[in-house]
Amino acid sequence: MTTEGDKLAKESRTVLAIVFVFLVFSIVIHWWISAAIFLCFLAFSIYFFRNPKRHPRGGERDVLSPADGKIVQNELIHDDRYLKTRCRKIGIFMSLFDVHVNRCPVSGSVEAIEYRKGKFVSANLDKASEDNEQNALIIKTHHGMKVAVVQIAGLVARRIVCYPVVGAALERGRIFGMIKFGSRLDVYLPPESSVHIGMGQKVLAGETVLATLPGEDIS
């Protein structure tokens, strides 16, 4: 699992290398319009793949946001896909301009990983949770509860990256993957969880506390 830091996400290396080569080639042959376009794309790529330091807040029962973005869903549902029970679902929409690295909402171990093919409708719509391509981590916390975090491709996104494997130990706030170019993350929690965010609120991955799991901290 990748650690956090003031650097670029490792997925940026290939993209930046290709764009840089085309930029240099355009300059060498004096294709100034092309050079300007590649320079702009290089600057945007550096901005898109940024990976700032984050400082997890709260205790072990506090669920951190797995993504930068805006809260677009917060409701009690009956989940038939991942936790297969009544649960609290919190949806976070990531725009093209948000940091796109994803961070673990809780500490625990990966009990299952479920990938589903699907469509690429706009990720700010609730139906994206049902229809779009997605990858879910089902995590068993140190308190014995199950939490699911689901990476969902959006209208522009075409690649979901997830590092952990089944059985891997996760630490809250650490990077576990990313989704390229606009997307959504859903978090499924026990229904008794205390929620600390509201609709439309901006959140930061690995820093903003979304909710608190029921029970008491394990020292």
Claim to verify: residue 25 and residue 120 sit in the same structural domain: no
- Please count the CA atoms within 13 angstroms of the CA of 68 that sit on its side-chain side: 19
**Span 212-216, mean pLDDT?**
86
Q: Place 217 in a pLDDT band, splitting at 50, 70 and 90.
A: low
Q: Place 175 in a pLDDT band, splitting at 50, 70 and 90.
A: very high
Question: What was the pLDDT predicted at 159?
Answer: 75
Question: What was the pLDDT predicted at 70?
Answer: 96
**Span 186-214, mean pLDDT?**
96
The single residue listed with the structure tokens 């989940």 is: 79
Kindly state the DSSP code that residue 180 receives in the 8-state scheme.
Answer: S
Q: Going along 79-197, which residue ranges are E strands? A: 86-94, 101-103, 108-116, 134-141, 146-153, 160-162, 169-170, 175-179, 183-189, 194-195
3-state secondary structure of 99: coil
Instruction: Name which residue leads in pLDDT, 155 or 83.
Output: 83
Question: What was the pLDDT predicted at 13?
Answer: 74
> d(Cα 8, Cα 201) in Å, to the nearest integer?
26
Distance of CA 74 to the CA centre of its chain: 17
**pLDDT tens profile 42-79:** 887 777 778 888 889 999 999 999 999 999 999 999 99
Claim to verify: residue 132 and residue 191 sit in the same structural domain: yes
The residue from 183, 193, 194, 219 that is catalytic is 183
Kindly state whether residue 68 falls inside one of the protein's structural domains.
yes
pLDDT surpasses 80 at 110: yes
pLDDT surpasses 80 at 114: yes
Count of positions (residues) in the chain: 219
Claim to verify: residue 122 and residue 185 sit in the same structural domain: yes
10-24, 52-66, 81-95, range with the lowest pLDDT: 10-24
Question: What was the pLDDT predicted at 99?
Answer: 86
Claim to verify: residue 108 and residue 31 sit in the same structural domain: no
> d(Cα 149, Cα 183) in Å, to the nearest integer?
13
The domain total for the chain is 2
- Give the DSSP H/E element, type plus range, for residue 12: helix 12-28
pLDDT surpasses 50 at 19: yes
CB-based burial label for 122 (10 Å; 0-12, 13-18, 19+): middle
Question: What was the pLDDT predicted at 12?
Answer: 67
Is 183 an annotated catalytic residue?
Answer: yes
Claim to verify: residue 171 and residue 133 sit in the same structural domain: yes
**Span 99-118, mean pLDDT?**
92
Kindly state whether residue 192 falls inside one of the protein's structural domains.
yes
Claim to verify: residue 172 and residue 90 sit in the same structural domain: yes
- Beta-carbon contacts of residue 17 (< 8 Å; ≥ 6 apart): none
Domain membership of residue 84 as a residue range: 62-203
Claim to verify: residue 132 and residue 160 sit in the same structural domain: yes
Question: What was the pLDDT predicted at 15?
Answer: 77
- Beta-carbon contacts of residue 206 (< 8 Å; ≥ 6 apart): 4, 54, 55, 56, 64, 65, 66, 103, 104, 172, 173, 174, 175
